[in-house]
Structure 1
Amino acid sequence: MQRRWTAAAAAITALALVMGACGGAGTGGTGASTAKTVKIISSLPMTGASRTQTVEIVNSIKMAIDETKITNVTVLYDALDDATAAKGSWDAAQEAENARKAINDKQVVAYIGTYNSGAAKVSIPLLNQAGMVMVSPANTYPGLTKGPERGAEADEPGKYYPNGKRNYARVVPADDIQGAVGATWAQELGAKKVYIVHDTELYGKGIADVFRAKAKALGLTEAGYEGAQKADNYRALANKIKDSGADFVYYGGIVDNNPAVLVKDLKAVAPTVKFMGPDGINCSEFLKQAGPAGEGVYSTFGGVPPEKYTGKASEWLKNYNTKFNNNNPNPYAIYGYEAGKVVLAAIAKAGDKADDRATVMANVMGTKDYDGVLGKWSFDANGDTTLTQFSGSTAKSGAWSFVKELAAK
């Protein structure tokens, strides 16, 4: 059965918005001369630990649609769930079902997703063969767009694009940058002997490997390296880390796979060991699960946190908080908005071909000098954003507190 998000927070499944006059930064078109109806589908895990972030991404996509007017174009929106209750996180079979649903619906011209890089690995090839554009607000695994020289596997990214044309882009910087800035920051924080753990998923292992390579280049000693799948306790691993003499732990993975449990178990036996993770743990749900043990945990994230937004981003945040009665959403929300606006700009630019998948895809992939809430940026030939800004935060009194901007070196 197809799963959809139907929470009262926003009744947006099959949302229809009639677009009046062309608007929005960088649309580059004036809409259609005759009436058109198109649909955007998002595929995100709306069940499980990631739900807090993904509800806010969906809110942001809805907000982008609300604000954008395109002459003679009606935009429908379906928010699909790629997670299952049984798994409590994204599921490959569910993601494939979502992609096929989009492909078989002739009104669908764009697919916003996924949240997890492993899920993208499933849907990119399916959508590629159907000639449909996919824009992710959250995927960061390098191999989805880049080759082995950037930390990918030998057959990546080619295997994801069976028709030979790129149809996938992301508005968030990739982990070949994030893992490296994380290692540099760890050294600045005093790390000398690092134990590296990953959750065995595509994203988690990928960023752990990038961190590992950079840490080695910086001269840090590796105390250990291993995969740890989701579990109810990590007491054995925590003791192993303690016995290794590590003074720092780097965790590559997502909140769904219980890094908060690892933090609790580690704090119980080695309270002085510092702990860092990437954007996969940079969310309120991780801090809620970790409780007091999460105090002092470090994390990295693309861009800057909401409290540091300026200009268009600051104005967007004010409008978001007003619209959704929120006190600053999680950092991925603004990326959901930007992904939505880029797709809408491509539809507007398509004019009388607003319902043509190939035209919309070409417009999205050709995005240049887009002046959005994230700043002015472009998609490169691989579909990656030209933005490279990262920031570092630490857990303080149950919230993420900005520490510094992190630059790739």
Structure 2
Amino acid sequence: MQYVRLSLIAAAVLSLAACNKSHDNAAANDASGAATSSSGDVVVKIGAANPLTGPFAHWGHDSDDGVKLAVQEANAEGVTLDGKKVKFEVVSEDDQADPKMATQVAQRFVDDKVAGVIGHLTSGAAIPASRIYSDNNIPMIAASVTSPAFTQQGYKNTFRIIANDQQQGQALAKFAIDDLKAKNIAVIDDRTTYGQGLADDFAKAVEAAGGKIVKREYTTNSSTDFMAILTSIKGAKPDLVFYGGMDAQAGPMVKQMRKIGLTTPFMGADGVNTAEFPKLAGNDAEGTYASTAGAAKEKMPGFASFNDKFKATFKTDIQAYAPYTYDATRVMIAAMKRAGSADPAKYMPELAKTDFDGVTGKIQFDTKGDIKNGTVTLYQLKTGNWKVLEAGGAAKAASAAS
């Protein structure tokens, strides 16, 4: 994803300076890269890469907080690796959901000798960053990256604890055709790795199910005016409008749809299924359909207690992926404990063998690093809240074995 910044270089320099200052205060590194805290504990650094500024900052801080909560609990528990007590430290970096910035963040993590990375938030940032982590043998666990390409690169260090966009696109298309009886569908995407890939998978699945894509339009992940493409779509008289992109554009988009009299149902995926979307779209959001690449919160085995802890710690509601970044961090630390080491070469094989019961459910990886038996859940926005769609008395969900 590309963003226009007044001074990208200045922002990167300031971020690096602040990060280095924080590390100087927390731990001292010796020539080998090992570090000790002021208490004498060995410091194990875990990188957390998210957009902490810009239109997706609410997602980024939510994900960052999930990592921090898991690390706080691990430190309170007290972990010993290779006979030495360790203190985990979260190194948070702002990748701005931008591919170029993400590679800079990745290199900073390499230079900072992090033991592993949780992130990045977006597919567009994670995929280019993953090459740098692979080259330097640093494990990364993605908690929100849904592009199928992420785990199709042949890297041994990439893992994902959530379903992918191919699975989301198929589930959404099936629901659109079978349940909503939509035959003529318009598709818009934001030209990002995530948005375009999701829209492509959805469109393919629609056509495979006998539907027709009557209009295909494009925007960007920084646009706010969609009148021209929506007017073009209105002329095609679609039964449904699908958007591959994030809530920051989906909110204004659906408002503008209603403004020009386009009353067609609106559908998105996990980028739209957020607490922020109804705030951005207001009453015009009502009735929107969306998915999540995972189980409904109500179906997560550990969500209730996690939600209580999260709110008590951060004084805010969960946006989307905090339960997943929390689980990803716990999975990484559990692999280190089994290996008795935070050395990636020693604990990465243990990551591949993960069999973990997390807040979000059972976590196991296939040979590509994808989660086994990923789940897609469908929702509709009703009276300002996302409600799980019911079918036959059970949650409308698609189980997708990897």
Which TM bucket (shorter chain)?
0.7 to 0.9
- Structure-2 residue corresponding to 1:250: 242
Q: Is the partner of 1:182 in helix, strand or coil?
A: helix
Look up the equivalent residue of 2:322 and give its one-letter code: A
Please give the alpha-carbon distance, in whole angstroms, between the structure 1 residues aligned to 2:281 and 2:26. 40
- 1:241 aligned onto 2:233: yes
Which consecutive segments of 4 or more residues in structure 1 shift more than 3 A? 13-17
Letter in 1 for 2:15: R
**Aligned counterpart, 1:383:** 369
Alpha-carbon spacing, 1:273–1:215, altered in 2? closer, same or farther (3 Å): same
Q: Residue by residue, what CA displacement relative to the aligned partner does 1:211-245 show, whole Å, maximum 9, x if unpaired?
A: 11110111112111232224231111111111001
Q: Deviations over 1:126-162 (max 9, x none)?
A: 110001001111000001113xxxxxxxxxx24xx4x
Assess, with a 3 A threshold, how the Cα gap between structure 1 residues 343 and 81 changes in structure 2: closer, same or farther.
same
User: 2:381 is matched with which residue?
Assistant: 395
The 5 A counterparts of 1:9-408 are: 36-68=42-74, 69-71=78-80, 72-83=85-96, 90-106=97-113, 108-146=114-152, 157-158=153-154, 161=155, 166-187=156-177, 188-229=179-220, 230-256=222-248, 258-306=249-297, 308-309=298-299, 311-326=301-316, 328-351=317-340, 353-354=341-342, 356-367=343-354, 369-404=355-390, 405-408=396-399
Shift of 1:57: 1.6
The alpha carbon displacement at 1:172 in A equals: 1.0
> Where in structure 2 are there 5+ consecutive unaligned residues?
1-12, 28-39, 391-395
Aligned-pair CA distance for 1:360: 2.7
Q: Does structure 1 conserve the Cα–Cα contact (< 8 Å) formed by 2:234 and 2:262?
A: no
Q: Which one-letter code corresponds to 1:222 in the other structure?
A: I
Cα displacement string for residues 314-362 of structure 1 (whole angstroms, at most 9, x for unaligned residues):
2222222232233x412311101111101111222221x32x1212322
Inter-partner Cα distance in structure 1 for 2:263 and 2:253? 14
Query: Does structure 1 conserve the Cα–Cα contact (< 8 Å) formed by 2:295 and 2:360?
Result: no
Q: Distance in 1 between the 2:197 and 2:329 partners? A: 27
State the Cα distance separating 1:312 from its structure 2 match: 2.2
Kindly, what percent of the aligned residue pairs are identical?
A: 30
**Cα distance between partner residues in 1 of 2:287 and 2:227:** 20
Q: Is 1:3 equivalent to 2:15 in the alignment?
A: yes
**C-alpha displacement of 1:272:** 2.4
The secondary structure found in structure 2 opposite 1:407 is strand
Normalising by structure 2, report the TM-score: 0.84
Deviation per CA, 1:187-224: give whole Å up to 9, x if none: 21221210011111111111111111110111112111
CA distance in 1, matches of 2:384, 2:79: 42
Letter in 1 for 2:206: A
Give 1:255 shift: 2.6
**Which has the larger displacement, 62-71 or 333-342?**
62-71
Judge conservation of contact 2:67–2:326 (CA < 8 Å) in 1: yes
Higher relative contact order, structure no. (Cα contacts within 8 Å, ≥ 6 residues apart): 1
The alignment's C-alpha RMSD in Å is 2.2
Q: Provide closer, same or farther for how the CA distance between residues 5 and 261 of structure 1 changes in structure 2, counting only shifts above 3 A.
A: farther
Given that residues 16 and 77 in structure 1 are in contact (C-alpha distance below 8 angstroms), is that contact kept between their aligned partners in structure 2? no
Contact 2:356-2:363 within 8 A present in 1 as well: yes
**Rounded Cα–Cα distance in structure 2 between residues aligned with 1:5 and 1:341:** 29
Displacement after TM superposition at 1:396 (Å):
2.5
Q: Which residue of 1 aligns with 2:33?
A: none
Q: 1:48-104: CA deviations, max 9, x gaps?
A: 222222212211111111222312112111111111xxxxxx222221111001111
Superposed displacement of residue 309, structure 1: 4.1
C-alpha distance in 1, partners of 2:379/2:195?
19
Do the aligned partners of 2:373 and 2:399 also contact (CA within 8 Å) in 1?
no
* Count of matched residue pairs: 358
